[in-house]
Structure 1
Amino acid sequence: MPQRTGQAGAECLEELSGLTNLAKITSSPDPQAHYAELRTQWGSVAPIEIERKGDTVISGWLVLGHAENCHVMRDELQFSRNAANWRWNYDDLLPPGTAIGAFTPAEPRPTAFYHDDTERQRLREPLDDALEALDERAVRDQTTYMCEKVIERMGVSGAGDLVRAYCQPVGFLAMTTTLGFDLETGGRLMTDAATVVDGDGDEVAAALTRTLDTVMEHIGRVRQDGGQGLITHLVSHKNFAHDVEIATSAIVPVSGAAIFLTAWITQTLHQVLADRKFAARVSGGRITLDGTLDEVLWHRSPISHSPAPRYARNDVELGGRLIRKGDALVMGIAAANADPAAHTDDQRDKIDNRSHLSWGTGPHACPAPRLARLIARTAVDHLLRHMDITLRVPDGGLPWASSPWVRHPTQLPVTWHRAADHGAIG
């Protein structure tokens, strides 16, 4: 049990011990039980352990409340995305080789992901413009082609891990193809992205360096030979000062494909395959495919905790807690989506309700929700349309990702065989 010091609501993070580890929450069979326990003890903002390196505990605040998450995400004047404002960085407290250190450099990388205010606007605009210029029909056709190739590789029938066989390659390669990479390069990026999600600090740093090098090489080829895809749009944008800005901006959707799309597709298929009542609602047309995807975003959010903390610029009160200048705040997406204060007993309030925070909100909201939904919808629909799949849950249950940020089964043991066309889900 964490030990408190000082007056209620004014705990100093560095003086607390026994904190719950983020990865322990995401990898547990019941994360909501952890959130409920933290709410009972601390309210809507709770101290947590982000990472442990040797004897050093890197701590922060986990924002559990829906309203509190919205407030922090929307107020970049008070809560910065720039990790130079994190006390662990400016007081040089981080041990070498931490995973969080690789994600949150004291010298922010030149992408909107790490900046606030006018610099964020300058770097975010090219990505928004490039996404707006994408031909969604072409993206859908590319994703369908990718699904067909992966299903063809699975064979007429077989048994294995659906995550490795389908969810990961379809989601990731569809996104990298949209960016303009060939399949071989997309495969290399997929390997490094998996390391970024779940590696230790040194592995994460090395994978990020390889990813940057790969994207920089691609930018050079586009400049010389031209090309298609989202990166081609970025290369010609007037806002960028140099190619490193283009590359680091392109890495955001690459990482998003690794962290978000694979998990979203996996969680959706797990929901349909594991829950017979839910599957009956889907097959019976009582819930559309988009409704199915939203159900997952609400109740099984692929992003449990945002991998981009905010940092308090000054002492501020949030949820009855004193957040001190330089403290890190982790956005508790899955906790916020389940916050009892954000729900009513009226079932009509749940119809087409997309006020969940799986996309974030405010100036740093996900730039590509339409693109991600298009790829995920196509991937799930195509598999269920063309394959009969049976989930084989082992006696010990399914293993869950050990990442502090993302939640999905790392394996879905299944048997499959090619089916007659069932028709698209509504």
Structure 2
Amino acid sequence: MTVQMMARDAPIELVNVADLTPLTATTSATDPQTVYGALLKRWGVVAPVEIEPGAPAWLVMGHTECMDMMRNERLYSRDPRNWRWNYENLLAPDAPVKTFSPDKPRAGSYHHDGETRRRLREPLDAALAALPQKDILQFTERVSLRAIDALGPSGMADLVRGYASQVGFLSTAAMLGVPDEPAKQLMRDSALISTHRPGAREARERIGAILMNQVQQAKASGRPGTDLIAAMVGHPNFKSDKEVVDSVAVPLHAASMFLGAWIARILHVELSDARLRARWTGGRIGLEDVMQEVLWRDTHVANSCAPRYAMDDIRLGDILIRKGDAIVFAISAANHDPRVHTGDPWDEIGNKSHISWGTGPHACPAPRQALLITRTAVQVIQQELDLTLTIPADAVQWAPSPWVRQPLELPVQFKRVTQRGTELPKTSHQGPLLLPPGQVARPMGTQWPSTVPLDAAPARASSWWPVTDT
């Protein structure tokens, strides 16, 4: 990474930096902390990076700095209309980053600040708080078992597309109150949009129509419901049905990116990390301990997909953040900040000061629901299948996303050990196995079966929700 010539005492500005490190380098590396570490060594806790070609941003890697900026929406806005690359038309009309940073954001709390954010966020928070835990457990178990049933009694599978992505997406759709068939259509359309394939515009229209139909049906029924849409339609904060549609898209948007990735990361740890697996299966730690360790050690939320935009010029040491610059929070790097770790494993017990859920007015609205869905999805597959990773642990490749850290695929050999509650003979190892180093059980690139056609499964490590009005 090089800096163009400037006066020695001049601060570093984003537009003057060449050869920017792409954000995908932080998520697709075997060890993301080596990439973050190189940026820290060269620039300090704030470094210039590239979200995608033509879209530069400042990457904030310090825990304290991320927390302070997350809490200050007056100086660090969430509204992408405040991004200079938007209001000066510096992006191509079809730039993928516009999915996350649209110049015409929809009417959900996600892309708004202040009173508008508060008005639109309150109904979502209230509906999530009222959602019965038993309902989340029941529909996640149902979705998980259907995915496992579709795999068959034994064979080969990719747990990312054949299980984790589908369970995360469809469980969240059930939480919204979307029935099975429309939910599957949402999943198919999401794949078109996230991969920018032909038909994406029509897919956006279908998604909007499906969600609007659910909102209008819930509104017409007049009956109170326990799903999110039914709980939100009557809230007085909403000025139109469209605001409800845009607001219910927030948890579905998150599920399409991060929930499936968290499930996949935990399964990856179980199958590939002998140290952690020994502690887990030996009873020294439980599933929720493993879930928290993933959030700390190698979180699936590598970099926040909701940039902030500077509302004024800000000088941070040698760095000058100009008004209108984009700011990305490096969640994974911040979680590794030595300032929040003591080095003593006993002191780390119960430490939940990671920022994988964010903090401040734009913190994740549904950490409890995400934990319940993820925990249930992992428990069900543990109970139902014997799993063996069919490639060496160090051969697992990572999805090239600016935001999400998850395996590109998780190829396994599996055997069903229950059938509608009837136990079948269980293999002797009683759990997931690791292959010896260098041993490969199948040719690389083999196509795996999945619950629905591969082109209908949620795209890996990408967002689908059409946040623009185009």
One-letter code of the match for 1:385? Answer: Q
Which structure 2 residues correspond to residues 108-187 of structure 1 after superposition, within 5 A? 108-187=105-184
| Counterpart pick for 1:190 among 160, 176, 187 | 187
Superposition TM-score, scaled by structure 2 size = 0.84
Contact 1:83/1:114 (8 A) holds in 2: yes
One-letter code of the match for 2:19? Answer: G
- Which piece of structure 1 moves more, 200-209 or 323-332? 200-209
Contact 1:195/1:204 (8 A) holds in 2: yes
Contact 2:399/2:408 (8 A) holds in 1: yes
Q: 1:24 to 1:74 in 2, by over 3 A?
A: same
Which structure 2 residues correspond to residues 30-41 of structure 1 after superposition, within 5 A? 30-41=31-42
Cα offset for 1:25? 2.2
Contact 2:309/2:325 (8 A) holds in 1: yes
Q: 1 CA distance for matches of 2:72 and 2:317?
A: 15
| Counterpart pick for 1:344 among 321, 342, 345 | 342
Q: 1 CA distance for matches of 2:415 and 2:263?
A: 19
| Counterpart pick for 2:103 among 102, 106, 110 | 106
Q: Is residue 2 from structure 1 mapped to residue 2 from structure 2 by the alignment?
A: yes
Cα offset for 1:385? 1.9
Contact 1:167/1:265 (8 A) holds in 2: yes
- Superposed CA RMSD in Å reads 2.2
- Which piece of structure 1 moves more, 199-208 or 399-408? 199-208
One-letter code of the match for 1:347? Answer: P
Cα offset for 1:350? 1.4
Q: Is residue 29 from structure 1 mapped to residue 59 from structure 2 by the alignment?
A: no
Contact 1:43/1:319 (8 A) holds in 2: no
Cα offset for 1:209? 4.3
Superposed CA deviations along residues 355-383 of structure 1, whole A, max 9, x for unmatched, are: 11110011100000000000000010111
Cα offset for 1:39? 0.2
Q: 1 CA distance for matches of 2:136 and 2:167?
A: 13
Q: 1:5 to 1:66 in 2, by over 3 A?
A: farther
The count of residues paired between Structure 1 and Structure 2 equals 419
Superposed CA deviations along residues 18-58 of structure 1, whole A, max 9, x for unmatched, are: 00011232122222111000000000000001111xxxx21
Q: 1:213 to 1:394 in 2, by over 3 A?
A: farther
Gaps of 5+ in 1: none
Q: 2 CA distance for matches of 1:5 and 1:128?
A: 49
Report the structure, 1 or 2, having the larger helix content: 1
Q: 1:410 to 1:191 in 2, by over 3 A?
A: farther
Q: 1:192 to 1:295 in 2, by over 3 A?
A: farther
| Counterpart pick for 1:368 among 366, 369, 386 | 366
Query: 2:211 aligns to what?
Result: 215
| Counterpart pick for 1:267 among 265, 269, 285 | 265
Query: 2:43 aligns to what?
Result: 42
Q: 2 CA distance for matches of 1:200 and 1:43?
A: 35
What SS does structure 1 have at the residue aligned with 2:105?
A: coil
Q: 2 CA distance for matches of 1:320 and 1:204?
A: 43
Query: 2:378 aligns to what?
Result: 380
Cα offset for 1:334? 0.9
What SS does structure 1 have at the residue aligned with 2:48?
A: strand
Cα offset for 1:353? 1.4
Gaps of 5+ in 2: 432-470
Superposition TM-score, scaled by structure 1 size = 0.93
One-letter code of the match for 1:222? Answer: A
- Which piece of structure 1 moves more, 125-134 or 106-115? 106-115
Superposed CA deviations along residues 329-352 of structure 1, whole A, max 9, x for unmatched, are: 011111111122221112122112
Contact 1:101/1:201 (8 A) holds in 2: no
Q: 1:201 to 1:125 in 2, by over 3 A?
A: farther
Q: 2 CA distance for matches of 1:266 and 1:229?
A: 26
One-letter code of the match for 1:329? Answer: I
Q: 1 CA distance for matches of 2:29 and 2:379?
A: 29
Cα offset for 1:9? 7.2
What SS does structure 2 have at the residue aligned with 1:281?
A: helix
- Which piece of structure 1 moves more, 69-78 or 27-36? 27-36
Query: 1:393 aligns to what?
Result: 391
Q: 1 CA distance for matches of 2:114 and 2:4?
A: 36
Q: 1:304 to 1:9 in 2, by over 3 A?
A: farther
- Which piece of structure 1 moves more, 242-251 or 94-103? 94-103
Cα offset for 1:390? 0.3
Q: 1:122 to 1:5 in 2, by over 3 A?
A: farther
One-letter code of the match for 1:215? Answer: L
| Counterpart pick for 2:328 among 327, 330, 333 | 330
Query: 1:224 aligns to what?
Result: 220
What SS does structure 1 have at the residue aligned with 2:81?
A: helix
